[in-house]
Structure 1
Amino acid sequence: MQTKIEDMAHRLAEVPGVVAVLLGGSRARGEHRPDSDWDLGVYYRGALDLAALGALAGPGVEVAGPGGWGPWVDGGAWLSVDGVAVDWILRDADRVGRVWEDCREGRYEVGVQAGHPLGFWSPCYAGEVALGRVLADPSGELTDLRRRTADYPEALRQALTAGAWEAEFLVEAAAKGVERADALYVSLCLSRAVGVLVQALYAEDRRWCLNEKGALAVAETLPGAPPGFGPRVRALLGAPGATAERLAATVAEARLLVGETVAAIRARTTP
């Protein structure tokens, strides 16, 4: 299978508009299971020959062009090779480069994107390159970017850890939904608060956080996480409650956990 994926990557790199192909996801990090997907980042510039991509994908496979899947997960295709899922994910090479420069300056944004319930955090673009494995790169530009992203930018670390304040704000917002027993609003606020904390914990440890999947399991092991962070989060989000009384107790527990986590992060990042 590895040989077939590498051959596919080189054929993708020959498509007009494609500049490089990167193996991402658990396969690139050596954390995959036997049934894990193969994720191929297809980096392009300018006009992309969608007809050529479609011919390479084969009959019955729909290729979504730039923007077809949303503003951040650009487009791509879902294939099956020997019964194993292979995902092509388009990435605008120039946009990835701009995001990397933003990361170096401590700037980031969070966008709405299908499949990312806590939003798409722009540093993911740089993190994908840093943690991926270049399979085809005729010009060498993606290889060079991967070398540069190996060092996590201190400015980004400071910005994401400073952004942990939003978790405190969200807990207080959740409290406003308690009296009405608004379980949806409370749950959304607390889920978002945890997501913000996870991003901050990753950044404090100079780790790239790519998405929500599996992020808590890693975050609870990081140095900035307070004791019991993972189990406490699971208890909060697993059963927040349906009555005002139970929701109030959940918010109180969340307030304590968020306060401890933010304090721990600030203590580790303040000179």
Structure 2
Amino acid sequence: MQPIDEHVEAMAARLADVPGVVGVMLGGSRARGEHRPESDWDLGVYYRGEPDLAALRALAGPDVEVAGPGGWGPWVNGGAWLRVDGVAVDWILRDLDRVERVWEDCRAGRYEVGVQAGHPLGFWSPCYAGEVALGRVLADPGGELGALRSQTARYPEPLRDALTGGAWEAEFLVGVAAKGAARGDTLYVALCLSRAVGVLVQALYARDRRWCLNEKGALAVADRLPGAPAEFGARVGRMLGAAGQSPEALSSTVERARELVGEVMAVLRG
């Protein structure tokens, strides 16, 4: 396990002392051991009620803007971007009550996809539970984050069923993309096919009982998962990299997408 930078560890402890803050988790590539030397340190700052923004701003320093709950949108919520010894450290606010509600939804096979800046395929609510499952507790005075992390260690079967079952949307999207292709509507076709791929990626992750946290790098991982069609990532790359502009070119792209979707659906339904 990667040692924690002493400055980051001290910062996590100070964050946990802020009124309203329950604890701090390390997330992102550094928590998973997949980081590069220049990778950010992502600190999930879990709170209940309203965190003391004045205390957070005092801790961040005078030149750092701290966005309160809702300041960054409905799902990513808020936080701050700092630099510590030349390395980026991100604070990401997380409402623990909401995270726990989402976890209950996951256990019941429910999820939602919300609009959120920075998430072009939408913010998939199971990300909240996945962040806890894959994160590393840095500060947890009351033991609440550790307890929740233990619960999320086992991927819920109802969520697996819901996400794999939800892959029907990819078939629907390919169908409506064909109509856009006939009109030469490149934007509409590209959006439909991009979302169709995103839905398939979520389903493949769920089939493997793996948490998908966001779109970044997700296709490369999905390409290696059991059940992914041969050359899944490469085929998606060719399809989305040159969808075309004429009705003929776009229709050809849609047919390739239809074939790919069919292969994934056969695995999911088998």
TM > 0.5 between the two?
A: yes
Q: 1:164 aligns with which of 158, 161, 167?
A: 167
Which residue number corresponds to residue 192 of structure 1?
195
- Could you tell me which amino acid in structure 1 is paired with residue 158 of structure 2? A
**What is the Cα deviation at residue 112 of structure 1?**
0.2
- Could you tell me which amino acid in structure 2 is paired with residue 5 of structure 1? V
Which residue number corresponds to residue 111 of structure 1?
114
Correspondence 1:176 to 2:179: yes
Q: TM-score, normalised by structure 1?
A: 0.98
Alignment of 1:16-27 (within 5 A): 16-27=19-30
Q: 1:60 aligns with which of 63, 79, 82?
A: 63
Q: Distance in 1 between matches of 2:38 and 2:268?
A: 36
Q: TM-score, normalised by structure 2?
A: 0.98
**What is the Cα deviation at residue 226 of structure 1?**
1.2
Q: 1:121 aligns with which of 117, 124, 132?
A: 124
Which residue number corresponds to residue 51 of structure 1?
54
User: What is the SS of the residue equivalent to 2:181?
Assistant: coil
Correspondence 1:149 to 2:152: yes
Which residue number corresponds to residue 231 of structure 1?
234
Q: Distance in 2 between matches of 1:22 and 1:47?
A: 18
Q: Distance in 2 between matches of 1:112 and 1:199?
A: 16
User: What is the SS of the residue equivalent to 1:260?
Assistant: helix
User: What's the CA shift string for 1:144-176, capped at 9, x where partnerless?
Assistant: 000010000000000000000000000001001
Alignment RMSD (CA, Å):
0.7
**What is the Cα deviation at residue 82 of structure 1?**
1.1
User: What is the SS of the residue equivalent to 1:6?
Assistant: helix
Matched length = 267
User: What is the SS of the residue equivalent to 1:265?
Assistant: helix
Q: Which of 20-29 and 221-230 deviates more?
A: 221-230
User: What is the SS of the residue equivalent to 2:121?
Assistant: coil
Which residue number corresponds to residue 85 of structure 1?
88
Alignment of 1:188-267 (within 5 A): 188-267=191-270
Q: Which of 218-227 and 200-209 deviates more?
A: 218-227
In percent, how many aligned pairs have the same letter? 78
User: What's the CA shift string for 1:210-247, capped at 9, x where partnerless?
Assistant: 00000000001000111111111111011101111110
- Could you tell me which amino acid in structure 1 is paired with residue 173 of structure 2? L
User: What is the SS of the residue equivalent to 1:181?
Assistant: coil
- Could you tell me which amino acid in structure 2 is paired with residue 26 of structure 1? S
**What is the Cα deviation at residue 47 of structure 1?**
2.2
User: What is the SS of the residue equivalent to 2:92?
Assistant: strand
Q: Which of 88-97 and 175-184 deviates more?
A: 175-184
Unaligned runs of 5+ in 2: none
**What is the Cα deviation at residue 48 of structure 1?**
1.2
**What is the Cα deviation at residue 266 of structure 1?**
1.4
Q: Displaced runs of 4+ in structure 1, greater than 6 A?
A: none
User: What's the CA shift string for 1:105-141, capped at 9, x where partnerless?
Assistant: 0000000000000000000000000000000000001
Unaligned runs of 5+ in 1: none
Which residue number corresponds to residue 9 of structure 2?
6
User: What's the CA shift string for 1:47-90, capped at 9, x where partnerless?
Assistant: 21100000000111010000000000010000011111110000
Q: Distance in 2 between matches of 1:141 and 1:242?
A: 53
Q: Distance in 2 between matches of 1:178 and 1:49?
A: 52
